Amino acid sequence: MRATDNFNLFTLLGNKVEILEKIFDESTGATLIKLPVSISSGIYILDVNEDESKIIVVKKE
């Protein structure tokens, strides 16, 4: 991962979900993405630089 990576998140129905913030950690090469508190737990599609992955979002109560 790089600080310039492009992230998009979609529901399985293709609706785009807003990513509030992305924080890149150069020491680990990992990026933390912050999602709206209103997001539901479920399976989403994460598009990173046009490569798609399915992810599971578990909402913390």
Domain ranges of the chain: 7-57
Q: What is the pTM of this model?
A: 0.82
Tokens 């913030």 identify what position? 21
pLDDT of 40 above 80: yes
Name beta bridge partners: 42.
57
Amino acid 1: pLDDT: 59
